[in-house]
């Protein structure tokens, strides 16, 4: 059942929210122990919320557009009274005294929160292997990663633990795991969903977005949480075009550009390139004008991102010092206590990025690193602006490869960082993008065999990019791609 | 000489950094009350506690207040100003960075005239205050030797305006006067309480010395912890002499931060743990730039009150009062308005008479009794009435003083007090003649000198005799009548 | 073409760890020096770009003047916050002694 179907059934009283929730928890009970999508399950609260929705319906009230829809949120969304850890030992046991705006809107829309999903610690990673509480596994092949950092949310949707889920995307953390797990993932325009209550990784890049089984649910899920929030200074006070209304308008006449620098280059697996080409052909067959386009400066995106994001993170994560909340390790004076706490509380990848970011901002290096990266950001925005003079949307792969095996990239941070090469430019520009599942392929190496002896097929996603506030058109194209998916 | 002080061939060079807390209702980036003296940790929220996920939103009024300061000190208000993060660890600071302005402040290049000398102000920028630690254990609440500290975040996030002067100040007195002028202006434009004792205005001084005529600056020391204007004056003077002592005895000045100790009257080096400072400023990504619009600026302009310097000049001209009196009248909050109200209903005498009565006994009474101007029992109309009676001669000056004291204590109208107590000048010619006769009898020498002296001597002795007569009436004698009778009796000699 | 910064040294790593209040061990310092050098070497494609005249972008969207009215909002419950604090006393957060100055 899609989220649309669930909400419709619950709103009319055809289904009870409780029975919907029972089905989802039944699936959780079977597979969660193996997959580890969640850091915290809100079983009790969820059934309480479901019953409240059922009573509201019985009283003739409308609980909202997500009535009774089981929803999972990444464990970096603040939830009042519910543990919020960011998969870090430094926040273990902390319960926020407030709800993030996104969570408050979900409650208001009648959604039922089932739990907080696993992530790479503080959203730093592309495989969900960097969680202090153990990795999440890919439901299509549990010997492989689900992608990351929002791996738990991707898996929750892919495994049917929740109808929709939310994550945060700083350099691809929604789209890449969506691609690797075979679900839809959206990184909306920067500022369209409030970041209030989302634990910051890199503030100028972070954005909340949904995971869903199909494009229609993704539209519903995004519409439930977006819109202006006075608590977030970077929130856009703009009217958003309705997504659900325009989804089925087709792509005839739309201009689609395949980004050369992110598609037909080394490092993008041939099977992935093939799926992008197939999606392009399908769009062309549906009436879109498809051509190649060059966005030269995106080649510098990865380097710029790995200076900007760690720099902002080094500052954002300074507050975890053992003074006000979370973990404290003993030290004779405050500075020693701070260092001991941070040493024991942060994992290796988080420390690596704090070090990198501190260095990129430090005296004598700012201009060469952080300052330069900000200028590259300008160039990328300018190049995209030129591309969007000729094209309505752009097309690229979401991730360079299918899901990879555990441990295959953990020793080499740079190799891991390359997982985000196609998704990062969107964050740097503040634009929107969506990953849509488009067929499967077997991995080039180490394929797991199915019971009948064939190599296991793994999902591939293609990515549609659009300029700021271009979501309506982007979703139309995504819907057309989905319609032609094998 | 106050403006340029030279000691042993060295001149003092001072730049001042003044932090003043803005008198907004709420903090700079959240809706918590900006309130001094609340119970610990009661004005806190996710934002000012730096809880994970919280985000700042800029207080509109803090910007408005900064723009007022921009107007008051002739600042340039750039088209855009930007908040940066200043990164360093300190437990008072919830995020371990201070959100502040860096290379794009809201106000740049202003000026302040201090006794006819223009001091350039480099910049004024908005930033957030820190929380407050109480050091427990060890030596009387001092940070050194304490075994732990307790933190209250009520002050964390309170808006500060940091006003940084150029090193244009050349004496301790001028430094004190700069702070006085700055404080009076900030108070007049209503942006801050500027209470140095409560910490709502904090002054740091960068002090160096150099040989007169040198163009390079000497090594400077930053002096902190001055809690009054008097301590600014003393601390700067001490620090300059300390540096001159060092240089003249062949030693070098170490660039450092020094702590002013009010009790021993010295500055002390703040022993700090060896720690690298590298603030790693970068633009605050959670805030957007401020671009004051024409509407915002013209609204601020229309709300600007008359500034103290202008008001002083106007009163000196209009009322023929001294610079000193004008300063007293303008610097005491509300006193100028009080004086103007009294002058408006003046029933005799001059504005200068009003000012004399105000700066004398009236302020003396308020200070002695700790009464606030607004709470004083004698209102402007009552004062005008009182001055009218004295100038008109129905009561004497000394009687006026008694009546004022009575009115301030009881709240009764001066006329009512005069009527009820039957106070009046002695205007009985018989009684006054009697007084003069006694005075004449007691001062035969003076009368002889009067008789034989030239005009100058005559005038002098006449004045003396008049004074003695007033003294004999305890000031209650009607001076006009007394003068008249004295002349008659002198002529009759 | 702008010069790229000198390669990162172990001393840089120790200095940065101090700035960031990370108590790293000898072996971590070794590993970080190696790994960060690789990442920074990759970043040198950006550091070496000759783009002095380009205006930096700090923020992806050209927003300005996001203000809040100066109106008091309720504070959070002090006890709720202090309950989750590592150490508290007399309604305040307690920390070990503070060395150095502010
Ligand atoms: Mg400052
Ligand atoms: Zn607050």
* Options A126, A127, A149, A153, the catalytic residue: A149
**Which 3 state secondary structure label does DSSP give A10?**
helix
Complex ipTM more than 0.95, yes or no: yes
Which residue segments constitute the domains of chain C, with CATH numbers given?
1-51 (1.10.20.60)
* Vertex B35: Cα angle to B32 and B36 (nearest 5): 140
C7 and A CB contact within 8 Å: no
* Options A74, A187, A409, A479, the catalytic residue: A74
What average pLDDT does range B210-229 have in this prediction?
93
In terms of Cα–Cα distance, which of B25, B48, B50, B51 is closest to B36?
B25
B422 and A CB contact within 8 Å: no
* CB interface of C with A, residues 55-84, below 8 Å: 55-61, 63, 66, 68, 76-77, 80-81, 84
pLDDT digits (tens, 9 = 90+) for B158-180: 999 999 999 999 999 999 999 99
pLDDT confidence of A106, banded at 50, 70, 90?
very high
Judge whether residue A197 has pLDDT over 80.
yes
pLDDT confidence of C102, banded at 50, 70, 90?
very low
Q: Tally A–B CB contacts below 8 A.
A: 102
Q: How far is B61 from chain A (nearest CA, A)?
A: 16
pLDDT digits (tens, 9 = 90+) for B414-424: 888 888 887 77
With CA atoms as reference, the chain A residue closest to C83 would be: A325
* CB interface of C with A, residues 40-59, below 8 Å: 40, 42-43, 45-47, 49, 51, 54-59
Residue numbers in A near C70 (CB within 8 A): none
Which residue segments constitute the domains of chain B, with CATH numbers given?
6-300 (no CATH), 308-421 (no CATH), 429-491 (1.10.10.410)
Is A324 in Cβ contact with C93 (below 8 Å)?
A: yes
Is A230 in Cβ contact with C68 (below 8 Å)?
A: yes
Residue of C17, C49, C95 lying closest to A355 (CB–CB): C17
Count Cβ atoms below 10 Å from residue B186 Cβ, excluding itself.
27
Contact between B450 and B410 (Cβ < 8 Å): no
What average pLDDT does range B125-140 have in this prediction?
89
C70 and B CB contact within 8 Å: yes
Query: Is residue A173 among the annotated active site residues?
Result: yes
What average pLDDT does range B402-419 have in this prediction?
88
pTM (2 d.p.): 0.91
Q: How many residues does chain B have?
A: 493
Count Cα neighbours of C70 within 13 Å in the Cβ-side half-sphere: 17
With CA atoms as reference, the chain A residue closest to C9 would be: A359
Ligand number nearest CA of B128 is 1
Q: Where are the domains of chain A?
A: 3-246
Q: Which residues contact A34 (CB under 8 A, 6 or more apart)?
A: A137, A142
Distance B156 CA to ligand 2 centre (A): 8
Given the DSSP bridges, would you call strands A393-397 and A255-259 parallel, antiparallel or unpaired?
Answer: parallel
Is C63 in Cβ contact with B288 (below 8 Å)?
A: yes
pLDDT value of position B373? 87
The CATH class that applies to domain A3-246 reads: alpha beta
Q: Which residues contact B355 (CB under 8 A, 6 or more apart)?
A: B319, B321, B325, B329, B339
pLDDT value of position B139? 64
pLDDT value of position B1? 42
Residue of C68, C97, C101 lying closest to B60 (CB–CB): C68
* Vertex B64: Cα angle to B60 and B69 (nearest 5): 145
What average pLDDT does range B485-493 have in this prediction?
86
pLDDT value of position A85? 98
* CB interface of A with C, residues 332-361, below 8 Å: 332-340, 342-343, 346, 351-352, 354-356, 358-359
DSSP tally for chain A: helices H, then strands E? 16, 11
Q: How far is A444 from chain B (nearest CA, A)?
A: 40
Is C95 in Cβ contact with B148 (below 8 Å)?
A: yes
Is A233 in Cβ contact with B56 (below 8 Å)?
A: yes
Cα distance between residue B485 and residue B440, in whole Å: 12
**Considering chain A, what percentage of its residues have pLDDT values greater than 90?**
92
């Amino acid at each position: 059942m899609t989220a649309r179907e669930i909400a419709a059934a619950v709103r009319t009283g055809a289904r009870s929210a409780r029975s919907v929730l029972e089905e989802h928890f039944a699936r959780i009970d079977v597979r969660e122990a193996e997959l580890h999508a969640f850091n915290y399950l809100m079983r009790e609260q969820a059934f309480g919320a479901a019953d409240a929705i059922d009573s509201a319906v019985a009283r003739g009230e409308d609980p909202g557009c997500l009535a009774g829809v089981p929803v999972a949120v990444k464990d970096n969304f603040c939830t009042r009274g519910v543990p919020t850890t960011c998969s870090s030992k430094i926040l273990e046991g902390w319960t926020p005294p407030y709800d993030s705006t996104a969570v408050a809107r979900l409650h208001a829309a009648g959604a039922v929160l089932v739990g907080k999903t696993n992530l790479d610690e503080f959203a730093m990673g592309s495989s969900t292997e960097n969680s202090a509480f153990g990795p999440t596994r890919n439901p299509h092949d549990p010997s492989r990663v689900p992608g990351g950092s929002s791996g738990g949310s991707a898996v929750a949707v892919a495994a049917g633990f929740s109808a929709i889920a939310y994550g945060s995307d700083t350099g691809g953390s929604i789209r890449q795991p969506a691609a690797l797990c075979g679900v839809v993932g959206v990184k909306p325009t920067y500022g369209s969903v409030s970041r209030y209550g989302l634990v910051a990784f890199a503030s100028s890049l972070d954005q909340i977005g949904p995971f869903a089984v199909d494009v229609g649910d993704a539209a519903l899920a995004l519409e439930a949480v977006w819109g202006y929030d006075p608590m977030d200074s970077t929130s856009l006070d703009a009217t958003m075009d309705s997504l659900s209304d325009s989804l089925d308008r087709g792509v005839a006449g739309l201009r689609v550009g395949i980004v050369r620098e992110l598609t037909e280059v080394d490092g993008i697996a041939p099977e992935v390139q093939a799926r992008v080409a197939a999606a392009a052909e399908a769009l062309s067959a549906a009436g879109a004008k498809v051509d190649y386009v060059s966005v030269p400066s995106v080649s510098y995106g990865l380097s710029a991102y790995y200076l900007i994001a760690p720099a902002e993170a080094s500052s954002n994560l300074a507050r975890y010092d053992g003074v006000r909340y979370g973990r404290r390790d003993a030290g004779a004076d405050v500075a020693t206590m701070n260092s001991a706490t941070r040493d024991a509380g942060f994992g290796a990848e988080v420390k690596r990025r704090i070090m990198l970011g501190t260095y990129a901002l430090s005296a004598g290096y700012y201009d060469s690193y952080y300052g330069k990266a900000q200028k590259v950001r300008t160039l990328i925005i300018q190049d995209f602006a030129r591309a969007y003079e000729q094209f309505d949307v752009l097309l690229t792969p979401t991730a360079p490869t299918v899901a990879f095996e555990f441990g295959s990239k953990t020793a080499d941070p740079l190799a891991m960082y390359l997982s985000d090469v196609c998704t990062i430019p969107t964050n740097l520009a503040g634009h929107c993008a969506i990953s849509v599942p488009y067929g499967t392929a077997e991995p080039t190496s180490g394929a797991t065999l199915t019971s009948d002896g064939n190599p296991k097929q793994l999902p591939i996603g293609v990515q549609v990019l659009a300029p700021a506030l271009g979501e309506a058109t982007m979703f139309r194209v995504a819907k057309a791609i989905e319609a032609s998916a094998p | 000489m106050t403006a340029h002080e030279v000691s042993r061939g060295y001149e003092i060079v001072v730049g001042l950094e003044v932090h003043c807390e803005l008198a907004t209702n709420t903090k700079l980036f959240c809706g918590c009350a900006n309130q001094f003296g609340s119970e610990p940790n009661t004005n806190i929220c996710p934002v000012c506690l730096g809880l994970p996920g919280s985000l700042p939103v800029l207080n509109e009024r803090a910007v408005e207040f900064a723009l007022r300061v921009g107007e008051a000190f002739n600042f340039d208000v750039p088209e855009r100003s930007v908040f940066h993060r200043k990164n360093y660890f300190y437990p008072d600071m919830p995020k371990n960075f201070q959100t502040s302005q860096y290379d794009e402040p809201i106000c740049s290049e202003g000026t302040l005239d201090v006794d006819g000398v223009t001091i350039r102000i480099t910049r004024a920028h908005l930033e957030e205050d820190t929380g407050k630690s109480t050091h427990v254990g060890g030596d009387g609440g001092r940070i050194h030797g304490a075994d732990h500290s307790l933190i209250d975040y009520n002050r964390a996030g309170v808006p500060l305006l940091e006003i940084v002067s150029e090193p244009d100040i050349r004496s301790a007195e001028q430094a004190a006067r700069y702070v006085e002028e700055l404080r009076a202006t900030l108070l007049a434009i209503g942006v801050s309480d500027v209470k140095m004792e409560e910490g709502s205005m904090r002054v740091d001084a960068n002090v160096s010395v150099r040989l007169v005529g040198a163009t390079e600056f000497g090594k400077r020391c930053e002096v902190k912890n001055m809690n009054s204007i008097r301590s600014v004056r003393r601390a700067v003077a001490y620090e300059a002499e300390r540096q001159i002592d060092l240089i003249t005895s062949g030693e070098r000045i170490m660039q450092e931060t020094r702590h002013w100790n009010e009790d021993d009257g010295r500055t002390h080096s703040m022993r700090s743990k060896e720690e690298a400072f590298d603030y790693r400023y970068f633009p605050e990504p959670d805030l957007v730039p401020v671009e004051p619009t024409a509407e915002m600026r013209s609204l601020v302009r229309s709300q600007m009150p008359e500034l103290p310097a202008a008001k002083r000049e106007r009163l000196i001209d209009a009322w023929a009062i001294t610079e000193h009196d004008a300063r007293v009248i303008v610097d005491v909050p509300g006193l100028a308005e009080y004086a103007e109200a009294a002058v408006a209903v003046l029933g005799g005498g001059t504005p200068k008479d009003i000012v004399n009565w105000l700066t004398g006994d009236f302020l003396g009474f308020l200070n002695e009794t700790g009464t606030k101007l607004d709470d004083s029992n004698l209102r402007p109309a009552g004062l005008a009435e009182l001055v009218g009676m004295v100038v008109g001669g129905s009561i004497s000056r000394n009687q006026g003083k008694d009546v004022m004291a009575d009115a301030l204590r009881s709240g009764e109208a001066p006329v009512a007090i005069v009527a009820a107590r039957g106070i009046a000048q002695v205007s009985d010619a018989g009684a006054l003649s009697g007084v003069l006769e006694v005075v004449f009898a007691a001062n035969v020498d003076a009368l002889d000198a009067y008789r034989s002296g030239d005009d100058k001597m005559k005038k002098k002795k006449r004045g003396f005799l008049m004074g003695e007569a007033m003294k004999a009436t305890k000031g209650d004698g009607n001076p006009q009548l007394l003068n008249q009778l004295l002349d008659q009796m002198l002529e009759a000699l | 073409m702008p010069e790229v910064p000198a390669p990162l040294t172990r001393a840089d790593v120790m200095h940065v760890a101090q700035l960031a209040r990370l108590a790293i061990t000898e072996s971590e310092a070794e590993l970080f020096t190696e790994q960060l050098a690789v990442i920074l070497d990759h970043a040198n494609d950006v550091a070496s770009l000759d783009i002095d005249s380009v205006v930096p972008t700090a923020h992806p969207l050209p927003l300005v003047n996001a203000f809040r009215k100066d109106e008091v909002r309720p504070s959070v419950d002090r006890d709720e916050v202090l309950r989750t604090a590592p150490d508290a006393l007399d309604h305040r957060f307690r920390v070990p002694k503070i060395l150095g100055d502010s």
